[in-house]
Amino acid sequence: MYRYDEFDARLVHERAEQFRGQVARRLAGELTEDEFKPLRLMNGLYLQLHSYMLRIAIPYGTLNARQLRKLAFIARKFDRGYGHFTTRQNLQLHWARLPDVPDMLLELAEVEMHCLQTSGNCVRNITADPFAGAAADEIEDPRILSEILRQWSTLHPEFSFLPRKFKIAVSGSSADRAAIMVHDIGIEILRSKTGEIGYRVFVGGGLGRTPFIGHEVGSFVPKGDILAFLEAVMRVYNESGRRDNIHKARVKILVHQIGIEEMRRRVENEFAEIKKSGVLQLPQSEITRIAAYFAPPDFATLASGDAAFEAAKRGNRDFANWVKTNVHAHKMPGYAIATVSLKTIGETPGDCSSDEMDGLADIMDAFGQAEIRVTHEQNLVLPHMREADLFALWQRLEALNLATPNYGLVTDIIACPGLDYCDLANARSIPIATAIAKRFADLERQQDLGELKIKISGCINACGHHHVGHIGILGVDRKGVENYQILLGGSGAEDASLGEILGPGFDREGIVDAVENVIDTYKNLRSDSERFLDTYRRVGAQPFKERLYAR
Amino acid sequence: MPQVLTANRLVVGEVVYWNGARGWVQRLQDAEVLADSEAESTLAGAAEWVQKREVVAPYLFDVRLEHGVVVPVKVREAIRAAGPTVRLDLGKQSV
Amino acid sequence: MLVKAASIVEDSFTPVADGEHLPDGPVIVSLKRFLAERDRILAREQPLGVRLESGESPQELQPCLPKLALVVLHIPAFRDGRAFSAARLLRTRLGYGGEIRLTGHFLLDQIAFFTRVGVDAFDVAPNISVAEIQTALHEISDVYQPSVDGRVTIRDLRARRTAVPPS
């Protein structure tokens, strides 16, 4: 993974000291809250329902064991001993105190981490496929471009006060494990007919109040041109994005208003101008230099189908169940990608205690895992496990209560913090998630249902990505009472689609039954081993509406 | 509709409520319930505390009185007064 | 209070409202007025500044830029970041070499960014000290991105570092 040199390190240290100065000015009254707010937001510090919340950046979701231990330490020392992994691969601490934050930033700087631009109207954390460097279908590790973009976007002098936030995601294969189609800019790495690797760029995707699937704005941008191309998009957005209404200020609204043809024209014009100066050309030497940080680990030459691994599966049903869902094929024979589910039945999705973080760091050391990844579905991934080590891994995860065998299943629910924590929320999401998970806790039932992605947001801002859930749930405030709307048929993968609202919402008592009815309807209608999503796409909303509302 | 004035402490971020006699208090039950006629002026008075860097983001919210107990009309304020409903060991409810 | 190159300087320009008589000496007029009365204003042959509101494009000044001593960018609110692109456009594509001055509501903490994109003078509140401005400009030593100011980037520094031959 990327290692800071003295320049990166100095920048995050100076940034921490800059914020210390800003906090001092705030506490001395030299800055009003109105003046301080954008400054603290650009260091990821929110004022939430109960307390300050600090959002720590985890660039493209990659952490090493030292960093994981530091996060555990910071959560313990400055917060309440746990953190929440988010749908943008970051970590949130919900109980920060303002004067502690500069010290927290310094602790983070010590392990090459920061909170830069995790909020504010600037380019946010660049997210990428959590299977990067391990997936068999990968054309190129998306984190190489992600790191280049991280540096390009950090403290960008022209684009730090955009009309609104700007989110970029990168996928390294045609399979989209980074939800690129619902980002402000989504980038797909692909190979041209001549074998050259380049980038397909989408613009204007996004969730929230007005969800959109992104449109192609660049069909094949050569590597050397990517920074110039992205600056062109940013400049068009900075100049023309709406400034009069924060609900209409995202780039997706601009694309919707002027149309993708006009957007493409403006971007291409700007791109042509930028190219003239040549200043933003990305030299191959720089790409090669950054790529070296993401060189694959020294893989041993192994045969696939490790005998001990196969025997362990036959001998231990719980282990076999875990492998069935939580282990994915690796590009190297004898290796595997292991998902650590943070969706323990009955507990807050995506939460991880300091003890669990330390335990995972120990596991990383025990199995020689240099990296752990945070996924945008609030789970963790150990990307380069040896098949031969999987059983021992599973046993250690079991001891930590982190071996829930539910990746991708109905209890692998994404939920935003919601009204239990968040100042913006209208309804609680976590207790809905835990209630649904408990209702479907039976593992056989879960496996029978297969891939079923439920995503829950506590408000229209859609941090739970409900628009792209196979079953999405949106919590609203209906005359002061929490109410839950069901959407069906969304997908955040390469077959991206936005969920459709099924009908009137349900209250807290009714929503779990409603979800169960939806799932039963699917079961009755499915052909063979069709996924829920496929059944819905085949039969449409009508059968589900009838089941829930015809009375 | 009776209202209560609330804010967050600038330094620790903690939720606090206004009681004219006691200042900013931690528990909703210790807050002063304001009648319509006094709510706006009490909110205006909070500006002084913002200026003094005691609190930020003061606002009013609706409450009912049920047998002498102050009950927020909105779930949001009930949660804000107590803590996360999914972690009873955290927030004011745990103290 | 006008600050240029982190020191306080005299402001010799007089801003003139639309419709008001233009006094003798250097004046600043709105873009609207400039476009409406351009020839007459230029005929004065005195130092001239034009003020752009957020959302007004510097492109509109393009043919006349060599005749302008000053372009003023007015920021209605610090969240409005269009002036960053406007300044950049003036310096690069439009090749403007006169003074670009920032006025309105901006944060001390934005001055470093504005300087990078080509703004060279700032209308700040009188209680801001030169020391504060110096701090704001130098708090972050190095920059990742190339910009108008031609500052050496971290990529350049890295290349230099590796290019140094062993002694």
Question: Percentage of residues in chain C with pLDDT exceeding 70?
Answer: 97
**CB atoms B53 and A431 under 8 Å:** no
- The residue assigned the tokens 């995050």 is A12
B21-71 pLDDT, tens digit each: 999 999 999 999 999 999 999 999 999 999 999 999 999 999 999 999 999
Binding partners of A (≥3 Cβ pairs within 8 A)? B, C
What confidence score (pLDDT) does residue C164 get?
A: 57
Exposed/middle/buried for residue C110 (C-beta within 10 Å: 0-12, 13-18, 19+): buried
Q: Round to whole Å and give the CA distance between A335 and A471.
A: 33
Q: How far is CA A4 from CA A8, A155, A431, A518, A548, in A?
A: 5, 16, 40, 49, 54
A105-161 pLDDT, tens digit each: 999 999 999 999 999 999 999 999 999 999 999 999 999 999 999 999 999 999 999
Contacts (Cβ under 8 Å, ≥6 apart) of A480? B73, B74, B75
DSSP conformation class of C153:
B
Strands across the sheet containing C27-30: C7-9, C2-4, C121-123, C99-104, C70-75, C48-52, C27-30, C14-15
Q: Minimal CA–CA distance to A376: which of A312, A465, A267, A456? A: A465
Contacts (Cβ under 8 Å, ≥6 apart) of A333? A302, A303, A304
What b/e readout covers A267-282, taking b as 16+ CB neighbours within 10 angstroms? beebbeebbeeebbeb
Residue A98 has its nearest CB partner, among B10, B15, B76, at B10
What confidence score (pLDDT) does residue A163 get?
A: 98
Between residues 31 and 50 of chain A, which touch chain C (CB distance below 8 Å)?
A: 35, 38-39
Q: Round to whole Å and give the CA distance between A65 and A84.
A: 17
**Distance from the A467 Cα atom to the nearest Cα atom in chain C, whole angstroms:** 29
What confidence score (pLDDT) does residue C162 get?
A: 72
Residue A50 has its nearest CB partner, among B11, B15, B86, at B15
**Distance from the A69 Cα atom to the nearest Cα atom in chain B, whole angstroms:** 23
Q: Is the distance from CB of B55 to CB of B7 less than 8 angstroms?
A: yes
**Strand A197-203, strand A215-222: pairing:** antiparallel
The answer to whether A156 contacts chain C (CB < 8 Å) is yes
**Strand C14-15, strand C7-9: pairing:** unpaired
What confidence score (pLDDT) does residue A20 get?
A: 96
DSSP conformation class of A148:
H
Q: Round to whole Å and give the CA distance between A363 and A393.
A: 7
The answer to whether A461 contacts chain C (CB < 8 Å) is no
Structure-block tokens of residue B17:
């409520």
**CB atoms C82 and A239 under 8 Å:** yes
Residue C167 has pLDDT above 80, yes or no: no
At residue C45 the predicted structure's pLDDT band, cuts being 50, 70 and 90, is confident
Minimal Cα distance from A286: which residue of C?
C155
Q: Is the distance from CB of A455 to CB of A465 less than 8 angstroms?
A: yes
Q: Is the distance from CB of A429 to CB of A419 less than 8 angstroms?
A: yes
What confidence score (pLDDT) does residue C163 get?
A: 65
DSSP conformation class of A171:
E
What confidence score (pLDDT) does residue C113 get?
A: 97
What secondary structure, in 3-state letters, does A246-295 show? HHHCCHHHHHHHHCHHHHHHHHHHHHHHHHHHCCCCCCHHHHHHHHHHCC
What confidence score (pLDDT) does residue C165 get?
A: 56
Amino acid, res. A17: E
Residue C166 has pLDDT above 60, yes or no: no
Residue C93 has its nearest CB partner, among A151, A273, A286, at A273
Q: Is the distance from CB of C147 to CB of A158 less than 8 angstroms?
A: yes
State the pTM of this model.
Answer: 0.96
What confidence score (pLDDT) does residue A525 get?
A: 97
**Distance from the C40 Cα atom to the nearest Cα atom in chain A, whole angstroms:** 31
What b/e readout covers A187-213, taking b as 16+ CB neighbours within 10 angstroms? bbbbeeeeeeebbbbbbbbbbbeebbb
Residues of C in contact with A156 (CB under 8 A): 144-145
Q: Please state the rounded mean pLDDT for residues C87-115.
A: 96
Please name the residue ranges forming H helices in A111-259.
Answer: 142-153, 226-240, 251-258
What b/e readout covers A28-66, taking b as 16+ CB neighbours within 10 angstroms? eeebeeebbbbbbbbbbbbbbbbbbbbbbbbbbbbbbbe
Q: Nearest 5°: CA angle at C106, between C103 and C111?
A: 90
**In chain A, which stretches have pLDDT less than 50?**
none
**CB atoms B14 and A50 under 8 Å:** yes
**Distance from the C167 Cα atom to the nearest Cα atom in chain A, whole angstroms:** 21
At residue C161 the predicted structure's pLDDT band, cuts being 50, 70 and 90, is confident
Q: Is the distance from CB of A391 to CB of A309 less than 8 angstroms?
A: yes
Minimal Cα distance from A425: which residue of B?
B76
* 3-state secondary structure at position A6: helix
Residues of A in contact with B50 (CB under 8 A): 33
Residue B13 has its nearest CB partner, among A97, A427, A431, at A97
Residues of C in contact with A243 (CB under 8 A): 54-55, 79-80, 82
The answer to whether A247 contacts chain B (CB < 8 Å) is no
Residue C117 has pLDDT above 60, yes or no: yes
Q: Is the distance from CB of A103 to CB of A13 less than 8 angstroms?
A: no
Structure-block tokens of residue A201:
């760029």
Residue B57 has its nearest CB partner, among A47, A98, A421, at A47
What confidence score (pLDDT) does residue A332 get?
A: 97
